[in-house]
């Protein structure tokens, strides 16, 4: 078979959770008749891109870990994690990458798995919520007030709230409020908010009644949303990471925590479940989950994404987060292994790219 298309994979070696897993399956592209090329983001920024001989070029963008750590979420930064500046710099980065690629390969027909002008949008939780709500996709209820007294009125009335950084991910920068019980995984000193300089170790601590901290938090770039009253399965709170490629559900990855825990992020202590965990889920809830995930990816302009959905006690499938760069499931864990890369590659090969 004479290759008529080239696939260019762009990512960084430290991305062991998706980029490295994907590269390990590169042989499958040759089987489907593709030229295979790969490069890191530093080389792209320096204009050191590989030669491509085919007329059609398909570009798959992974998360730019090195650039993010060096220029955005730096260890020396005094900024609060997940603020607007993070988003602005991230958006500028992708616009630069887009310009470089289109200039260097100006004689090629370029296709993107996810376009550079779409991959950063999901980092803005407020904008994502508006896009999905407008399409009547279930999302948590959002509150626009920044008056701490009004927030406390809502909490005292029995509502449970999350205050999240607007431009964050991985369960970092979260504060939870319910009557007589407040938690945050920010560090604080004399109510001054401090961001941990790591993706892990953001442990929750109780701050019940710390109004000064709350007032300072509400001055930051945050979103306020009502907690989903989770549907419990086997006595556990859970959400479902739905992996979608080109309008098709490839895999559903359940993540669960104890019923009294507030979030279900693996990085925050939850655990991954195997496919058998879903056997106890009512079929109509699973159908709603898949439907809402598919609609979400379409509304966000993405071809590949992981959509986090939490079924609630009213049998609704609520979208709590969209991930343009989701981590891939394990390929070695006997209980939860799934070769997601293989299925993504099959979908890329099946597409006509006209």
Q: What is the CATH number of the domain that holds 19?
A: 3.40.50
The answer to whether residue 237 is domain-embedded is yes
Q: In what order do the strands lie in the sheet with 56-61?
A: 34-39, 5-10, 56-61, 109-112
Domain shared by 67 and 105, yes or no: yes
Cα-Cα-Cα-Cα torsion 341, 342, 344, 346, nearest 10 degrees, comes to 160
Domain shared by 101 and 16, yes or no: yes
Angle formed by the axes of helices 125-134 and 283-299, to 10°? Answer: 110
User: Could you tell me where the DSSP H helices lie in 218-311?
Assistant: 283-299
Q: What pLDDT does 189 receive? A: 81
Q: What pLDDT does 277 receive? A: 87
Domain shared by 9 and 98, yes or no: yes
The answer to whether residue 53 is domain-embedded is yes
CA angle, 123 then 340 then 244, to 5°: 50
CA 328 – CA 340 distance, rounded (Å): 7
Q: What pLDDT does 86 receive? A: 96
The answer to whether residue 298 is domain-embedded is yes
The answer to whether residue 11 is domain-embedded is yes
Residue 118: phi and psi, rounded to 5, are -115, -25
The answer to whether residue 55 is domain-embedded is yes
CA 117 – CA 102 distance, rounded (Å): 13
Domain shared by 248 and 209, yes or no: no
Domain shared by 216 and 259, yes or no: no
The answer to whether residue 330 is domain-embedded is no
Question: Which of these three, 201, 226, 251, is where a domain ends?
Answer: 226
CA 327 to each of CA 28, 266, 306, 338: distance values in angstroms, whole numbers, following the listed order:
20, 11, 8, 12
Domain shared by 285 and 191, yes or no: no
The answer to whether residue 353 is domain-embedded is no
Domain shared by 42 and 10, yes or no: yes
Tokens of 60: 């798959």
Domain shared by 170 and 70, yes or no: no
Domain shared by 113 and 23, yes or no: yes
Q: What pLDDT does 207 receive? A: 95
Q: What pLDDT does 31 receive? A: 86
Number of domains present in the structure of the chain: 3
The answer to whether residue 195 is domain-embedded is yes
Question: Which of these three, 196, 226, 256, is where a domain ends?
Answer: 226
Domain shared by 110 and 18, yes or no: yes
Q: What pLDDT does 251 receive? A: 95
CA 138 – CA 64 distance, rounded (Å): 30
Domain shared by 101 and 27, yes or no: yes
Q: Which domain holds residue 309?
A: 229-323
User: What residue has token string 């419990």?
Assistant: 232
Domain shared by 278 and 294, yes or no: yes
Question: Which of these three, 226, 259, 294, is where a domain ends?
Answer: 226
* Ordered per-residue pLDDT tens for the chain, 354 residues: 556 899 999 999 999 999 999 999 999 998 888 999 999 999 999 999 999 999 999 999 999 999 999 999 998 888 999 999 999 999 999 999 999 999 999 999 999 999 999 999 999 999 999 999 999 999 999 999 999 999 999 999 999 999 999 999 988 999 999 999 999 999 988 778 989 888 888 999 999 999 999 999 999 999 999 999 999 988 889 999 999 999 999 999 999 988 888 888 776 677 888 878 888 899 999 999 999 999 999 999 999 999 999 999 999 999 999 999 999 988 776 666 789 999 999 999 999 898
Residues whose CB is less than 8 angstroms from the CB of residue 132 and which lie 6 or more positions away in sequence, other chains included = 139, 296, 299, 319
């Amino acid at each position: 078979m004479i290759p008529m298309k080239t696939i260019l994979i762009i990512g960084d070696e430290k991305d062991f959770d998706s980029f490295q897993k994907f590269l390990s399956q590169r042989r499958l592209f040759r089987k489907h008749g593709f030229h295979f090329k790969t490069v890191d983001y530093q080389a792209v920024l320096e204009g050191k891109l590989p030669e491509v001989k085919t007329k059609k070029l398909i570009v798959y963008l992974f998360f730019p870990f090195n650039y993010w750590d060096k220029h955005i979420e730096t260890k020396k930064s005094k900024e609060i994690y997940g603020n607007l500046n993070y988003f602005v710099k991230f958006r500028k980065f992708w616009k630069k990458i887009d310009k470089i690629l289109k200039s260097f390969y100006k004689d090629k027909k370029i296709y993107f798995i996810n376009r550079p002008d779409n991959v950063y949008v999901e980092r803005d939780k407020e904008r994502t919520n508006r896009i999905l709500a407008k399409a009547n996709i279930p999302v948590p209820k959002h509150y626009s007030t920044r008056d701490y007294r009004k927030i406390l009125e809502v909490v005292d009335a029995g509502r449970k709230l999350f205050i999240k950084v607007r431009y964050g991910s991985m369960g970092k920068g979260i504060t939870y409020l319910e009557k007589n019980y407040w938690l945050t995984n920010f560090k604080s000193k004399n109510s001054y908010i401090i961001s941990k300089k790591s993706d892990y170790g953001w442990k929750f601590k109780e701050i019940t009644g710390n109004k000064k901290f709350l007032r300072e938090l509400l001055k930051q770039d945050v979103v306020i949303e009502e907690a989903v009253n989770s549907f419990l399965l086997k006595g556990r709170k859970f959400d479902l990471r739905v992996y979608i490629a080109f309008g098709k559900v490839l895999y559903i990855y359940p993540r669960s925590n104890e019923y009294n825990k507030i979030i279900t992020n693996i990085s925050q202590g939850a655990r991954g479940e195997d496919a058998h965990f879903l056997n106890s889920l009512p079929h109509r809830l699973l159908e709603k989950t898949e439907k809402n995930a598919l609609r979400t990816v379409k509304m966000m302009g993405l071809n590949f994404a992981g959509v986090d959905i939490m079924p609630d006690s009213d049998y609704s499938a609520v979208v709590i987060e969209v991930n343009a760069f989701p981590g891939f499931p394990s390929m070695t864990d006997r209980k939860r292994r799934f070769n997601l890369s293989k299925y993504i590659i099959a979908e890329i090969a099946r597409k006509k790219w006209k």
